[in-house]
Structure 1
């Protein structure tokens, strides 16, 4: 006699909009079980009954064989009495469901869709909008909840009978996918000239022909327009740089596939998995000698940002072109990227020679995600398409919903509800009101999609930041100001599921210090509720004020002071100080970023900075990774925080330069010296506090050489080291830290 069993199963995590219900239905049918599955507000609810052995196998396979795009956080099983279900059905979702499905990240086409794209017998052969429930646009096309066709930018396109059958069939991979379409009923691709006039011929074939002749094409991607030209064509790349006013910041290289990418970069198994994964990020990898890439794509860099096609359109274009593309965002001089057709034509017509576009609207703009393998792990440098807004699970739930407004540079925002922190895509620099309007619009859109109504608004403690001003204008039960560097440490803690306390080492550009100086090289005793400044890099004046950030030779002069130098160098330093003027503001700063600026200027690598972090990146690229010597830096003790005398590093470098030492060796010794100084300081703080864990955070820990050297030394000294893995160590992760601090302070267990 067969023993019957019935259980109610609740599955939490990313389980909506990823084919989870059809998977459950198929699994139940295969095991001869009855019941139903439906989405609810917190995930998926399953009622399953039948033979005991079948139910037990179902529970095992539910997690073991779950769809690749799902992420199961928790499974709750409650036994009950059989209800007499006949067959297995997919039931209507609860009214409050579809929260996570409404805000899934955009994904690259799956293998099944790519096979259709390449198959002449398929009705979707060469159709650039091919997709299914396992891939394709999500966040970029979703206007509102629930994520059904009428609430997406696919609403104007009525499904044909064939597509409707696929959409309604639980056995189809297009079941429930609101983007289901084909050439008979979906969006259409067009190629237009710079005046907006449609050009004749196949759009992909004609666009590729233009690219071969050195033209620049604006291509409508999943999160906005980007500008493309042939990567090997130096005149085309130079023209794109000149028209866009982007003098030196590296472009991305997009290859048709791994074989083509391997001709450009050194790609190991880890990098290959990243490049071919569903997010299709940009991955920073070592440049291969003789790579078929123009010098102007990434001037002065030994690494390239490489990517594979993120949409069927990109696959078609790269296949037709037969060579890699150089890509950059569809904007001018740091504006928000264009994502609406009319705006793109207006703003980009002076840059692009033609527009490869279509009639499916984008409702959420997003840059590409950028990843870098660092010291054996993967670090997110920019969170964007393919990652945002996938939630990051926190260790302790927030009592009330939180909105954190992030930083002015590399701005993001974070919505925290319970344990789930939804970190947005990078939205740019909030240095003008166009970007601020885009920021505010994105916040509102996320709140609607996720069904979150923030009761607390967290923001940077600097009162002058545009993000802070925006936060203070929002109505909420409370506003929480979070010091910039405390937020960095909190982001690292949240990224690692840690509550602290730790020794937080924050090496970044600049941040508002409560003592009225500019912080940027800090050692904090920190947990999620508070911090104490235990040590810092030595403070030096910024000659001429904030302009010193763009004139790094001024910072070199500040660090060197009256240290004996080569006469030629002394003349350069004097000229830089004269240019800064006298009597102007000279605020004090402990910025690690400005320390790197000073070294880059001292070595003749960089006299003028044209983009954020440029000098530090170029100094890393120039350094000899085989160098083992390290410059010493004294650690000064007194009544206040310990001070790392970073001028010692700069002066030792100047002495080596005067002695004729190779600049690559000097840059290597500087990196080693700073890593040694960080470790020595942490050892001293461990003796004073008993803390044995260190959190490394801040934009300077995007530097592979510095991170590797610091990790080696700290681990050899017996520390447990936390580093960023899922969120950027720079300001792009700051909003997560702000949200975590606000939630911790709101928690009943938080100290008064």
Structure 2
């Protein structure tokens, strides 16, 4: 057929787990393209047979209309691609492995569409605490290896029901190839226990948890990247008890509010700070106090408070039920890493928490809450973690020989950076390496990054501190 081109397009960047393949599929249907699209360890690969006009339209859409969570680093084009396949349509093919340079995406807070789902009584996901789609939900916290597919995540143990499978296979559905897709019938489940691990029998776990918090109880909550210890910010005795039980005398507690209007009851919030609060990363934003309505025990002798908004469906449902702000602090013993599994939480936090809000979706990778501040007209990241990490910084050509260099970071407030052939990967916040457990977590994360990015450490960059 005269005028038909055979082209291979390789797209690198944050293009896995964001609905990029479904996006390409829809373009292909729109422009009557033949070929296939698939994930590999580099990113997204498109094989297309089309006319020059069709190809120009495809390229324009790739550059201008890519999914919201995606970030394209490079589009490489191989003209006159020799392919023995004869394509009769366009399809999404199985992922393939190769030399890794794909970007592992940070976790993203719940999107407005999923909020509509969990608050609509006529929706089958009404009140479901693990609702997500290609535009939101867990990414880094559940991934074991790349390419990013369900079988490579902690969602692999949950088999999709017929309705979820139908959504997953439907090109016009926003859950088309959404890897963590699930519902109450087939997905992760909540459970509520006391401090001894005994199940609390209740019809609605979120409502019961809210009731316990309103009674002044401390609840350990399993989030996306680890456990938090929670109590109501309005109950002074609960805040004091949390400080005493955790042996945290003065360090400020973070807060979670239902929405920005609730934050504004206690803090001054500029337009830029409101943008940070509602950003997809959903970080803790340090804000200037507007008054002293909240307990002084939350942030003793501080002029600012750290607020975040609900970033998961579970947190959103809980805050809707509570109708007031929640204290949320990292679920761990002092100087140890944040706890990520249920049994460890019961063992280590049983003398701090009165109750435990658990679930059965494993957290593969520990990731704490990010902390940011708006200073002098710009964003200042104080703790780079959930929503921001891992951070990929692409290299120009010429840095290939730097692959395998590991910058180990500092002993306090540790993060590290691993260089691959094409990018520098900045880790999530690891924390202070004061204990054996923290140092082991540091080593485990280095091993994880080597595995994810198929890059073996060959050189170390460190300071001359004797430790």
Give the TM-score normalised by the residue count of structure 1. 0.59
Count how many residue pairs are aligned between Structure 1 and Structure 2. Answer: 462
Distance 1:141 1:94 in 2: 20
More helix, by proportion: 1
Structure 2 equivalent of residue 266 of structure 1: 268
- Cross-structure match for 1:339: 340
The secondary structure found in structure 2 opposite 1:154 is helix
Deviation at 1:255, TM superposition (A): 0.6
Question: Against the structure 1 CA distance between its residues 171 and 452, is the aligned structure 2 distance closer, same or farther, given a 3 Å change threshold?
Answer: farther
Asked if 1 retains the 8 angstrom alpha-carbon contact of 2:100 and 2:452, the reply is no
Q: 1:82 to 1:432 in 2, by over 3 A?
A: closer
Please report how far the alpha carbon of residue 173 of structure 1 lies from its aligned counterpart in structure 2 after TM superposition: 2.5
Highest CA radius of gyration, 1 or 2?
Answer: 1
The reply to whether residue 92 of structure 1 matches residue 90 of structure 2 is no
Query: Does the CA-based 8 Å contact 2:220-2:331 persist in structure 1?
Result: yes
Question: What is the rounded CA distance, in whole Å, between the counterparts of 1:419 and 1:151 in structure 2?
Answer: 23
Change (3 A) 1:446 1:126: same
> Is the aligned partner of 1:415 residue 2:418?
yes
Partner of 2:135: 134
1:387-437 CA deviation, whole Å, 9 max, x = no partner? 111312245624132222211101122211023111111112111111111
Q: Deviations over 1:234-255 (max 9, x none)?
A: 2211111111111111111101
RMSD: 2.2
Between the aligned partners of 1:387 and 1:446, the Cα distance in structure 2 is 16
* Cross-structure match for 1:432: 435
Distance (Å, rounded) in 2 between the aligned partners of 1:127 and 1:439: 34
Alpha-carbon displacement from aligned partner over 1:538-597 (angstroms, at most 9, x marks no partner): xxxxxxxxxxxxxxxxxxxxxxxxxxxxxxxxxxxxxxxxxxxxxxxxxxxxxxxxxxxx
Tell me whether 1:110 sits opposite 2:111 in the alignment. Answer: yes
CA shift digits 1:596-643 (9 cap, x unpaired): xxxxxxxxxxxxxxxxxxxxxxxxxxxxxxxxxxxxxxxxxxxxxxxx
Q: Could you tell me how far apart the structure 2 residues matched to 1:128 and 1:299 are?
A: 33
Residue 16 of structure 2 contacts residue 147 of structure 2 at CA under 8 Å; is this kept in 1?
Answer: no
- The question of 1:47 aligning with 2:47 is answered yes
1:280 and 2:282 matched: yes
Are 1:193 and 2:189 counterparts? no
CA, structure 1 residues 338+319, in 2 after alignment: closer, same or farther (shift >3 Å)? same
- Matches for 1:545-556 after TM superposition, within 5 Å: none
**Relative to structure 1, is the Cα distance of residues 286 and 76 closer, same or farther in structure 2, using a 3 angstrom cutoff?**
same
Structure 1 Cα separation of the partners of residues 249 and 355 of structure 2: 22
Q: What corresponds to 1:739 in structure 2? A: none
CA distance in 2, matches of 1:142, 1:81: 32
Is the 2:335–2:435 Cα contact (8 Å) retained in structure 1?
no
Q: Deviations over 1:231-276 (max 9, x none)?
A: 1222211111111111111111101112212222222222222211
Asked if the contact 1:99/1:145 (under 8 Å) is kept, the reply is no
Other structure's SS at 1:378 match = strand
What is the distance in 2 between the residues matched to 1:150 and 1:51? 36
Secondary structure in 2 matching 1:195: coil
Q: Deviations over 1:513-540 (max 9, x none)?
A: xxxxxxxxxxxxxxxxxxxxxxxxxxxx
Q: Residue 178 of structure 1 corresponds to which residue in structure 2?
A: 179
How far did 1:458 drift? Answer: 2.4
Q: What is the match of residue 26 of structure 2?
A: 26
C-alpha change, 1:82 and 1:31, in structure 2 (3 Å) is farther
Out of 234, 237, 262, the residue aligned to residue 236 of structure 2 is 234
Give the CA deviation at 1:97: 6.7
Structure 1 Cα separation of the partners of residues 340 and 452 of structure 2: 19
8 Å Cα contact 2:414-2:429 kept in structure 1: yes
Residue 411 of structure 1 aligns to a residue whose secondary structure is coil
Q: How far, CA to CA, are the matches of 1:375 and 1:171 in structure 2?
A: 43
Deviation, structure 1 residue 51: 4.1
Give the whole-Å Cα distance in 2 for the aligned partners of 1:406 and 1:81: 44
Q: Distance in 2 between matches of 1:394 and 1:302?
A: 40
1:580-619 equivalences in 2 (<5 Å): none
Q: CA deviation at 1:81?
A: 7.9
The match for 2:399 is 397
* Distance across 2 between alignment mates of 1:204 and 1:97: 44
What are structure 1's unaligned runs of at least 5 residues?
Answer: 466-752
Instruction: Specify the alignment match of 1:150 in structure 2.
Output: 151
CA displacement 1:103-143 (0-9 Å, x = unmatched): 32111112221111111111111010111222111221222
User: Any conservation in 1 of the 2:188–2:361 contact (CA below 8 Å)?
Assistant: yes
Contact 1:49 1:82 in 2 (8 A): no
| Cα drift, residue 178 of structure 1 | 3.0
CA distance in structure 2 between the partners assigned to 1:369 and 1:87 by the alignment: 44
1:250-649 aligned at under 5 Å gives the runs 250-290=252-292, 292-395=293-396, 397-399=399-401, 400-463=403-466, 465=467
Note the C-alpha offset of 1:78. Answer: 4.1
Look up the match of 1:703.
none
The 1:148–1:40 alpha-carbon spacing in structure 2 relative to 1, beyond 3 Å, is closer
- Structure 1 distance, partners of 2:157, 2:186, is 10
Distance change in 2, residues 1:3/1:146 (3 Å): closer
Conserved in 1, the CA contact under 8 Å of 2:109 and 2:137? Answer: yes
Is the Cα contact below 8 Å between 1:398 and 1:416 reproduced in 2?
no
Q: Following TM superposition, by how much is the alpha carbon of 1:364 offset from its aligned partner in structure 2, in angstroms?
A: 1.2
Alignment check: 8 A CA contact 1:7 1:49 kept = yes
Higher relative contact order (CA closer than 8 Å, sequence separation 6+): 2
What's the CA shift string for 1:133-177, capped at 9, x where partnerless?
221112212223443333322233222122222223333322333
Partner of 1:155: helix, strand, or coil? Answer: helix
What are the Cα deviations for residues 203-249 of structure 1, in whole angstroms up to 9, with x where unaligned?
Answer: 11111111112111111011111111111222211111111111111
Say if 2:227 and 2:339, in contact at 8 Å, map to a contact too.
Answer: yes
Shift of 1:296: 1.2
SS of alignment partner, residue 77 of structure 1: strand
Question: CA 1:40–1:335 in structure 2 vs 1: closer, same or farther (change >3 Å)?
Answer: closer
TM-score by length of 2: 0.93
Task: Quote the Cα distance in structure 2 between the aligned partners of 1:357 and 1:98.
Answer: 34
CA shift for structure 1 position 327? 1.1
Q: Is 322-331 or 394-403 further displaced after alignment? A: 394-403
